[in-house]
Structures are given as C-alpha cells and as structure tokens.
Amino acid sequence: MKLVKQPLALASTFLWIGFLGAISFMEAWIKFRAPGVSLPIGLGIGRLVFSALNLMEWVFTIAIILNLILSKWQWKNWISLFIIIPIVLLIIQSIWLLPALDARAELHIQGEIVPESNLHFVYVGMEFIKLMSLLFWGIKLFKTRTE
C-alpha cells in the first residue's frame, strides 16, 4: 500500500484549488449576471466573498506549512518553489491588492466616480499563477509517496 507523505498538505492544496476556481474564476463573474444585482450590490457581495476566500487561503497555507514542517519536508527541493509562489502572492494580495480593491469597491458603493484601474487584471493574473502553481505542487505531492 502506498501512502501520501503529506496528506494534510495534499488535501489543503486541492481544497485551495477548488476555492480559487469556484470563487475567483466563477462566482466573481456570475453574480453580476443575476437579475436585480446592481453594481453596488455585486461589489458588496464580492467584498464579503473575497474576504472569506482570503481567510480560507490563509487556513490552507498554515495547514500546508505545518504539515510540511512536521513531515520534515526538504525546503531546498526545487518543488518547494510551487508552494512558495502562491504563498508570496497571497501575502501581496493580503497586504496590498485586496485592500486597494476593497477601497475602490467602497467608493463605487458610495456612488463616487472611480478612475479606471488595472488592479482587477493584476488580481486575475495573480490568481491564475496561484492556481497553476498549486496544481503543479499538488501533482508533485501526490507523486511523492512512501513505499
């Protein structure tokens, strides 16, 4: 019988992928197509959902890091890059990008005129890079088993 060496990291990785796919690449676009959802309402919903997603991403990150530390993961391994990338992007999003997007959303909700920005494109790009890195990371974790 073959067992996965880092089961919590593996499960957390694929749950994280699921959350990213469902929220960043589906919910974010679909909510504005629902009847009766105005821009301010959609932005209000989005603020709540993306705040919750950010919290869950930190839960997954902590679970992955703890599992790797407890399993004595070799961080010098090149495969570690695939988990370091999403963590760095999560830090950037948490400290800078999400607060900036949240402030813009609040201005929209208050009825202010908000100048155009590329922040949403930056966010989508970061999410795509996170998703791909996590996918490669999860595949490598799954292949790393004990005999």
pLDDT at 143 over 80: no
User: What's phi and psi for 18, nearest 5 deg?
Assistant: -60, -45
Q: What is the pLDDT of residues 106-132, one digit of tens each?
A: 999 999 999 999 999 999 999 999 999
Q: How far apart are CA 99 and CA 76, in angstroms?
A: 33
DSSP 63-103: HHHHHHHHTT--TTSGGGHHHHHHHHHHHHIIIIIHHHHHH
Contact 42, 32 (CB under 8 A): yes
Contact 119, 100 (CB under 8 A): yes
Least confident of 14-23, 61-70, 78-87, 130-139: 78-87
> Structural domain boundaries of the chain?
3-146
State in Å, rounded, how far the first CA of the chain is from the last one.
7
Structure tokens at 60: 């997954």
Q: What is the pLDDT of residues 6-49, one digit of tens each?
A: 899 999 999 999 999 999 999 888 988 889 999 899 999 999 99
Q: Where residue 147 falls among pLDDT bands split at 50, 70, 90?
A: very low
